[in-house]
């Protein structure tokens, strides 16, 4: 009997814990106290005190018991949730491992996979599907390697420029161009920029040149123009036409006089000189409100003037003569200066006939090659005294 009682208590303790067992004993004692009062038909002070103590103990033990029970329930739920999450993650990983094949990118393997897919499809549809030949595979690989090399070269070009940075020269350039608010300067020597342009011209694409033109760093922008010039010199006629069109479409990004003069003389001017039908571009650019377009047209006359075609240069000067912009008037002066080297008499007659309309700046630059005393009188408009 006693053994059964002890077994029952042990079993109850395992289910409810020590607190649960204590609570059970207190409840039993309280019930026995009540039965004792009923059997004897009386309630003593002692039995009342016992009941009060038991009730207090039962209340406290119940609080401890149910608080622990609630905590155990939360812990149990958390363990179950954690197990479920772990199970889901394992299941997801197994699914990915079964369905995903991780392999290095290899253009040749991709081509072979593509061929296999074509073969399978042709087997199902019973139709012959063309596949890539070995030569086409090799060409595809070369294209991939070339793209990687171009990206690498573009990065190297920028790094080369950065390594040639000269802080003192950069400060002088910033003060000289007076546009420090919108431009940054590295101060790279122009001879280095020309050298880099010749080295990288065949390795850089037009898209990358466009990216350089959009840079906030002046050295990279001027590098873009030199790259266009070097590429143009080394290219065949079709490529030269492409570069010419590229410059016309992107000329809005060329907005500093040093960049404008370089491109106008060595791309636009050379192309017009080689293709006289392109001279119509002058009318298109003269119709715009851009001061850079007007200076571009003036400076583009240099190659034609140097080749002896003074007519184009004089025509451009006449069309720009009434524009007040200093950048335009100085460009007119440079055209007249080059024209004077080729034919001093014709150029002097042009200046005389437009003396009242031409700016003093244009006349002063255009007559720099004159004999000193003769020029001094000429600038005063004393043509009668200086007539030859």
Q: What is the fold, at CATH topology level, of the domain defined by 235-388?
A: 1.25.10
pLDDT at 321: 92
d(CA 263, CA 17): 92
Strand partners, 217: 184
pLDDT at 368: 94
Q: Which residues contact 221 (CB under 8 A, 6 or more apart)?
A: 212, 213, 215, 253, 254, 256, 259
CB atoms within 10 A of CB 261: 21
Per-residue pLDDT of the chain (388 residues; tens, 9 = 90+): 655 655 665 565 555 566 666 656 766 676 777 777 677 666 666 667 666 766 766 666 666 556 655 555 454 555 555 555 555 555 554 554 444 443 444 444 444 444 444 444 444 444 444 556 667 666 666 666 555 555 578 899 989 999 999 999 998 888 888 765 678 999 999 999 999 999 998 889 999 999 999 999 999 999 999 999 999 999 999 999 999 999 999 999 998 899 999 999 999 999 999 999 998 898 899 899 999 999 999 999 999 999 988 999 999 999 999 988 999 999 999 999 999 999 999 999 999 999 999 999 999 999 999 999 999 999 988 875 444 5
pLDDT at 128: 47
Question: Could you tell me what percentage of the chain is helix, strand and coil, using 3-state DSSP and rounding each to the nearest 5?
Answer: 80, 0, 20
CA dist 101 → 104, 105, 121 (Å): 10, 12, 22
pLDDT at 156: 92
Do the Cβ atoms of 187 and 168 come closer than 8 Å?
yes
DSSP secondary structure letters along 302-349: HHHHHTT-HHHHHHHHHHHTT---HHHHHHHHHHHHHHHHH-HHHHHH
Quick one: which H or E segment has residue 371? Answer: none
Identify the residue whose tokens are 């690498």: 152
Q: Which residues contact 115 (CB under 8 A, 6 or more apart)?
A: 131, 132
d(CA 55, CA 116): 84
Here the tokens at position 112 are 């072979």
């Amino acid at each position: 009997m006693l053994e059964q009682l002890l077994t029952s208590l042990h079993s109850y303790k395992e289910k409810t814990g020590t607190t649960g067992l204590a609570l059970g004993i207190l409840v039993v004692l309280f019930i026995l106290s009540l039965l004792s009062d009923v059997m004897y038909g009386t309630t003593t002070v002692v039995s009342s005190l016992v009941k009060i103590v038991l009730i207090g103990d039962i209340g406290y033990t119940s609080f401890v018991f149910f608080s622990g029970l609630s905590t155990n329930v939360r812990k149990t739920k958390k363990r179950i949730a954690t197990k479920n999450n772990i199970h889901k993650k394992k299941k997801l990983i197994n699914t990915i491992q079964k369905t995903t094949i991780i392999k290095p990118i290899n253009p040749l393997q991709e081509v072979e996979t593509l061929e296999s897919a074509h073969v399978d499809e042709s087997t199902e549809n019973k139709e012959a599907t063309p596949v890539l030949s070995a030569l086409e595979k090799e060409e595809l690989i070369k294209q991939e390697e070339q793209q990687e090399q171009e990206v690498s070269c573009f990065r190297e070009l920028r790094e080369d420029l950065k390594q040639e940075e000269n802080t003192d020269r950069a400060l002088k350039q910033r003060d000289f161009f007076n546009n420090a608010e919108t431009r940054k300067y590295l101060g790279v020597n122009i001879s280095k920029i020309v050298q880099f342009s010749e080295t990288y011209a065949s390795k850089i694409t037009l898209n990358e040149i466009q990216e350089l033109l959009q840079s906030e760093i002046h050295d990279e922008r001027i590098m873009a123009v030199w790259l266009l010039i070097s590429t143009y010199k080394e290219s065949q006629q079709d490529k030269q036409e492409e570069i010419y069109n590229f410059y016309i479409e992107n000329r809005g990004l060329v907005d500093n006089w040093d960049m404008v003069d370089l491109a106008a003389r060595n791309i636009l001017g050379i192309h017009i000189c080689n293709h006289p039908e392109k001279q119509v571009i002058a009318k298109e650019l003269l119709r715009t409100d851009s001061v850079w377009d007007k200076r571009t047209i003036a400076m583009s006359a240099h190659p034609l003037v140097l080749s002896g075609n003074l007519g184009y240069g004089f025509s451009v000067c006449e069309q720009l003569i009434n524009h007040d912009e200093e950048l335009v008037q100085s460009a007119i002066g440079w055209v007249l200066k080059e024209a004077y080297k080729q034919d001093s008499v014709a150029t002097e007659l042009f200046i005389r006939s437009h003396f009242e309309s031409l700016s003093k700046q244009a006349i002063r630059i255009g007559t720099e090659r004159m004999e000193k005393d003769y020029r001094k009188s000429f600038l005063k408009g004393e043509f009668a005294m200086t007539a030859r």
